[in-house]
Structure 1
Amino acid sequence: MELHGLGDPLMLERIDRLFACGAGEHVDLPQIVVVGDQSSGKSSVLEGLVEMAFPRDSGLCTRFATQIVFKRSKEERIAVSIIGDRNSTQEQRAEMEAWSKEGLQSLDGDAFPNVHQVMGLDPSDAASGSKQTFSSHVLRLEIAGPQQEHLSVIDVPGIVRIPTPGLTTKSDVALVKGMVLGYMENPPSVMLTVIPANVDIATQEIIDFAAELDPAGDRTLGVLTKPDLVDPGTEPRVVDLIEGRTRPMKLGWHVVRNPGQQQISDPSINRHELELNFFRNKSPWNDIAEDQVGIKSLRSRLKDVLSALVRWEFPRVKQEIEKKLKAAQMSLGDMGPERSSPHLQGIYLTDLASRFQRLVSLSLDAKYGADRAFDKDPSLRMAPAIAARFTSFSDDIGQYGQEFAFSSPDDPGLILEPTLAGDPQEQAPAIQIIEPKIDVRKLHDAPLEIDDLLHPSEQLSSSSSEHIETWLRQVYDTSRGFELGTFGGHILATTMKRQSSKWTSISLGYISDVVVLLHRFISAAFSAVCHDADVMSALVNAMTEKLTQRYRTTLDQVRFILEVERGGMPLTMNHYFSEHLDECRQKRMLEAMSNVSFSDCKHGTVVRLQDVVQTHPMSNADHIVKDIHDILQAYYGVTLERFKDNVLKQATDYFLLSGPDTPLNLFSPTFVSALTPDEVEHIAGEALKVKRQKAQLGKEITSLSEAKAILIRG
């Protein structure tokens, strides 16, 4: 840091006004901090800078920090005020503002009436325990006059080494130490460390603090007091320190000679003449450079230091104020609007519901670029997740849904997929590699509040290796009646129910996963639109019962579809059933005839009529079993496609996504309008903690907004 003289008074004026508006509570401002032990002579140094005597035994500058601001003006005047700390209530700030005094002519006891009471301190110096002994509020002294030049310093209470019975306690010692270190730790501050010259500097705790916080000595200016009390013969040690031969610091050392107790009480003694005579005539002090001795040169030096400090830090201060103001405004905005009355609470909840429904609409339409919330939480991307889960459901039920693998007409042992309805083209037999087992649930971390109503995780094996026609023969033999050359309709119903027995686990596992995806979306959407944890928790509690009921209704709908498709008589009007059944019979006939066919150049491949009769003699029961197989395969394929469509259209779409009573449209403006006033208050009423946070942010925004205006307008 380079020193270039006084610098821009307007810039210094702005920094002082930033302190006055409380910006120093939120942004590190450049300042000179006066620190030292209680017996270091710090108060006398301040009196010399102020050129006024502080009232003795007033507690001024000993129990709270004091900011002293010098300004040039046409008339001499003194103003005193209190800058409340960040924890001050509105009532306390109003009381402090009312206490402010202007137009004072001196700093006698009448200038500070009731200052201790206003700061919440014990009015006496004794530690009674009923009130605090020290305060974190700041007393501001503004001294103006035609001979003043711009300067400001902050004096903090002196370091208390040990408790004094009846005056200070252990907690007071710790409190003062924390207060002093808090000011010293401020990076853009210069520490004016006041130390008696007649003591060993190695024993001074304040020097240890400064060395720890500023090891390079870039922002520490040492001030030695009481040179008149230095023991004879030890003066060279002090001179070496002042002239930088021991413990050098970039800002250097300065020495002042304060009046003694008797001299203070003698009005005929002039402080400056006393000090001037001492440094002119007393050896070895008269050999020290003039700009390093005396209170006047110290004051000039402090102006240079502060000017350079402000010039260096001013751009950063502007950036920090802008940054902190935006952060505070964003934090207050995230906490939602004011909701101190039932009307405001209703408006707040209605706005939350509207923004929630907007996210629902954007998510279902897959318009993920329309809101940045979709980039922050993948759970909000609901449509692709549900579509992917339905695809896996379709694959799983197609591959694992049948209890027995259907056989091929040309190879009774070949495993085939059932022909899918809607595909009239002939399908070539194909052997598929199928995993031995699948899990009907793909999502295993369901929220606890809905876990009980979901279908449990379950593994299913692939289709039975037992030949399907063996099973069908057993069913026929144990279920046949007196039919001749045919079979009863109940056999098809029985076999269909057994063949589709895995549908239950696969479909309920699927819909349970969709419910989990939906519930995750709802939770993520709540978090995206509501940043108040208490409100969100109350909303969830208010909606959980109705949400779970809608989830339960959806699962019941899947069970209903299962009952319709797997129970009762097999029925269909789908023409693909007849077409597929014809295909199966034609394939069997074609395969049977292929072994006795021959090529005739004129007529192509032909079969003799007698061979048609004698080709593949089977018993009546065998014919019936093969008919049962073909009819079951045709009906299974048609029903499977119908079942998947119904699960998708009814359970997934209507009951969960787009119907009138889905979980997604539960939290809506209509839901809010139906709440009772007590319910609205319970959900949206501000907790005491939130009120305090909002009040604190409001004060911070007010202070920083005023600071920003000071920087812009000057």
Structure 2
Amino acid sequence: MEPTDILGGTALHQLLSDDENRLLDTIDELRSQGVGRLLGEEGLPQLIVCGDQSSGKSSVLEALTRVRFPTKSNVCTTFPTELRLRREPKSRISCRIKAAVSRTAEDKERLARFQKSFDSPEKFPELISAARECMGPSTPGNSNTHVFFEDVLEVEIVGPKLAPLTIVDLPGLFHYRSSSSGDRDIELVTNLVQSYMKKSNSIILAVVSAHNDINNQIVLRHIKNIVPEGHRTLGIITKPDELPSGSEKEQEYLDYARTNPSKFHYGWHVVRNRAYGEQANSFEERDLKESEFFRDSNWNSVPRREVGLGVDSLRQKLSKMLLDHINLSLPSIIQRLEDDLGRSESDLGRLGETRSTVREQQNYLSDVSDTFSGYIKDALDGRYHRRAFFGDPLSTDGLEKRLRANVRNLNDEFANHMLEQGHKWHVVEESELDNDANHDHPNFIAKSAFLHHVDALAQCERANELPGLSNPLLVGSLFQQQSEPWEKIALAHVDTVWETVKHFLECLLGQLTDERTSNQLLIHVVDPAMDTKRQALKAKIHELLVPYKHDPVNVDPHFARKIWQLKQEQITRSVLETVLREGKKSEISSLSVDEIMARIATSDATADDKYGSLQTYEFVQAYYEMTILIFIHNVASLAIEQCLLTRLPKIFSSATIREMSDEKLKLIASESRDTRIERERVVERVQVLKTGLQTLKQIHPGMSWTAFIFKSSSTFLFGSQDLC
């Protein structure tokens, strides 16, 4: 038999119309080119046939597909069977067993060896039996026909006009089983069926037998719990011919199908399966019997808009359902394709044109250099919105690429660190010693204790100054001790900024060039230039610290005012502390100036300051507060800006490229065989994406996607007269 005739006699191709074929041909062309998964497996439609045991599920599938299923009364479906319909030019049928997770490694290996192919759908029942035997071999006196398995039989049916969907035949649900494994089997089957129902791409065909009471059908209870609003569900009533004509039970089913109390999205359909004596009948004879039954029965009075009748109209309804499922996914497919096209074009730009000659290599690096400089300028100017490279500001990746924002934030952190931890001693008044905020500094000290330290230094540094004064050089010596942490903090800061800039440049080159070229540019161009900048940064920090390692020089006209303000604060504090020690707080407002002066005169507030330590402390404090702000500003402007950022866009310039030897050009810009292959693949990918997008957007010309979705949704909700 020729491959193209394998599917002859089946009705699998009838699940698609010409419009669906055109749409799916486009999607499959994209898929065949390796352009992503488009919908992904979770997006492909999947028909699951579920119902109670012996409700006629397999018979419905057999009538629907015209592929023979085991339908004998003494053989039930004991494991999931997935018919994976896929579109390819040549037809073939093959299968394998997907072992359950609970299987042992030995079992999984044994089941993996089950690989079958066959040339006729008529042999499908034999395949089912062979798979069941492989899952659990029969033993003498112990048949496996009623043993349930979690393994899945995957049957791939490939042909040129098939709908890319999966049809799943599931074991039937049941209340009770007399065997010793009864409770386990009930739980196993229930979990299997529910797992398929919960998948968002599953279109549920809920099969109920008219032979049983509608309120006793287990499948309806599960659907109500899992899909309470009835989305993606179609009810199918089987065995309507077993109901006595005109009986109350027949009327009950007629009313149920018409009123749809389960609120199934696709309503209800009625199918007559083969009777016991008709098992040998052909599919044509089966369809004729069904047509005659509906013509002569009470079901003929049901409006076709409300209830579908017969397997032919069921195929048409499923065809519309499949198209609607795919149509609703089209906007997201197009969006994915457009995103993929954007990424592919970016990849193509990163790979550049072919570059086998020196001239081509120079041109390529020049293009990269121009783009590289433009991105850096935008990053330093804070123009992030102009380029997609900078990404989402709220994401970690996007924040890392905002160079100016990162540098400014680091400068702010540096300034705060300097103001909080830049002084060696944190001097506080005795009244503030209990403040927890002061404990954040490792060397907080009471002012009185610090003045004793100054006394000791002043005694060692004495010159020819008058009593009560300190050596003027003591101010510089004490300031150098107090500013000792500056160098360590500043060097750590410029190192952090340097690392941030280097990381940005690495990310940028990775975006603009292929991995090999990016690495070579880093090794031969960027890293040496950045190392030079790092040394310049350190040298600048040491240069900025030089004035503070010698005697203080200050020409600020506000310095004297600052000293006077400190003296005023000191005098005010001393007076208040003295008065408070000599009297009650409530009495202060009633004291005259002479009384206050008398109390100060009789107190110890005028302690002997033999070495002028208090004045020295005030000078150091005033000088420190003014110079630390200058140093912070100089680090940010003279070190970070001038030594690191100002000429950063020129770090890889056209001048750099002109100075390269031919050997270095080849080393950096020549492309590997992998790069050439990748470029060819990306070029082809871009072309396929453009063609696919153009085709998809022409499927419904002149219709907005909003209107398109509404139209598809309307078909879901209200159906169509041609479905029945």
TM-score (norm 1): 0.50
**Max Rg structure:** 1
Quick check: which one's helix share is greater? Answer: 2
TM-score (norm 2): 0.49
